[in-house]
């Protein structure tokens, strides 16, 4: 899939956690030559680390990075987006595809900082992108071609799975896949703590908890079966699993997870007006 982006010059503005994950994914995907990527970061030392690690071109000049790029990926914090747009807009032409991963920044806000008619895609990635197991959800701005979508999907497929949604869904997406890794990490920690409480050494408990979450997710994804059906298969009458599940149901586990998604979704809306 990354091959869809082959032949494109890609500028990555901001080489922090997400910028680096994208560079690493694109380079290891093999379809895009490292010297087709120009990564820019405000910190010269950071650019240098990225250049040595991935063999891409780097620098601290965002305009230079964007000038010869077909695709400009904005991977700075949301609070820096306006400054970066003001800076790079001179380098954006009608054929440049601008992709922003900044949480909460809408297509409309991005368009305000770019020349009229600019091609824009907003993406909500998540933390597992750092190990190429991310979930990146794309929102398409107006006037994009099929080729633009292919190129964007090519880039984000290099760090996991992609999905396209309407912008009105993106706050709920943030509540599920954006914030979701933190909920799952809490579950892993709680499972391990339970093991420690029952006498297991911490390292063994954590290994069991992590592999159980990873393996179960993999099983559900590979079989495509509804989670409830898989759960029923390992829940024997009068057994250990149903005894544990009873405690979770009594404690309102499902309602609590669902309420967490609702609260995170509403928080995404609140953040936009703050």
Ligand X SMILES: NC(=O)c1ccc[n+]([C@@H]2O[C@H](COP(=O)([O-])OP(=O)(O)OC[C@H]3O[C@@H](n4cnc5c(N)ncnc54)[C@H](OP(=O)(O)O)[C@@H]3O)[C@@H](O)[C@H]2O)c1
Q: What angle do CA 65, 66, 69 make, to 5 degrees?
A: 100
Residue 57 binding ligand X, by CB under 6 A: no
Distances (CA, A) of 217 to 142, 184, 220, 222, 227: 35, 11, 5, 9, 9
Could you tell me how many residues of this chain bind ligand X (CB under 6 A)?
Answer: 27
CB-wise, 121 or 205, nearer to ligand X?
121
- Answer yes or no whether residue 17 interacts with ligand X by CB under 6 A: yes
Torsion of CA 145, 148, 153, 158, to 10 degrees: 160
256 in contact with ligand X (CB under 6 A): no
> What gap in Å lies between CA 237 and CA 243, rounded to an integer?
10
CB of 174 to ligand X, least distance (A): 9
Q: Does 108 engage in binding with ligand X (CB under 6 A)?
A: no
Residues between 145 and 184 with contacts to ligand X, criterion CB under 6 A = 178
Site stretch for ligand X (CB under 6 A), options 17-25, 139-147, 158-166, 226-234: 17-25
Residue 126 touching ligand X (CB under 6 A): yes
Q: On the CB side of 81, how many CA atoms lie within 13 Å of its CA?
A: 24
Taking CB under 6 A as the binding criterion, the range among 119-127, 146-154, 243-251, 253-261 that sits at the site for ligand X is 119-127
Nearest CB to ligand X, comparing residues 14 and 29: 14
Residue 159 Cβ vs ligand X, minimum distance, rounded to whole Å = 11
Which residues make Cβ contacts (< 8 Å) with residue 116, sequence separation at least 6? none
Map tokens 């559900």 to a residue: 220
Residue found under tokens 């309602």: 255
Q: Which residues from 65-84 bind ligand X, rule CB under 6 A?
A: 75-78, 80, 83-84
Residue 6 or 64 with smaller CB distance to ligand X: 64
CB 20 to ligand X: min, Å: 7
Binding site for ligand X (CB under 6 A): 13-19, 40-43, 46, 62, 75-78, 80, 83-84, 101-103, 125-127, 178
């Amino acid at each position: 899939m990354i091959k869809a982006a082959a032949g494109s010059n890609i500028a990555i503005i901001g080489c922090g956690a997400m910028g680096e994950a994208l560079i690493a994914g694109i380079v290891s995907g093999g379809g895009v030559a490292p010297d087709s990527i120009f990564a820019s970061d405000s910190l010269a030392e950071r650019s240098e680390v990225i250049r040595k690690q991935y063999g891409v071109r780097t620098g601290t000049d965002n305009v230079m990075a964007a000038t010869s790029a077909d695709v400009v990926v904005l991977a700075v914090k949301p609070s820096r987006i306006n400054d970066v747009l003001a800076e790079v807009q001179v380098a954006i032409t009608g054929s440049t595809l601008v992709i922003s991963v900044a949480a909460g920044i809408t297509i409309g806000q991005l368009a305000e900082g770019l020349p009229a008619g600019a091609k824009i895609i907003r993406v909500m990635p998540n933390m597992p992108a750092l190990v190429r197991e991310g979930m990146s959800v794309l929102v398409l701005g107006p006037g994009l071609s099929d080729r633009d979508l292919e190129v964007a999907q090519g880039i984000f497929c290099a760090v996991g799975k992609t999905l396209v949604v309407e912008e009105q869904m993106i706050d709920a997406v943030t509540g599920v896949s954006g914030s979701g890794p933190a909920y799952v990490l809490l579950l892993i920690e709680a499972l391990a703590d339970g093991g420690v409480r029952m006498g297991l050494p911490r390292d063994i408990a954590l290994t069991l908890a992590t592999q159980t979450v990873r393996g179960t997710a993999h099983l559900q994804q590979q079989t495509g079966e509804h989670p409830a059906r898989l759960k029923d298969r390992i829940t024997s009458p009068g057994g250990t699993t149903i005894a544990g599940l009873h405690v979770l149901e009594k404690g309102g586990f499902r309602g609590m997870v669902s309420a967490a998604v609702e609260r995170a979704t509403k928080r995404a809306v609140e953040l936009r007006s703050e």
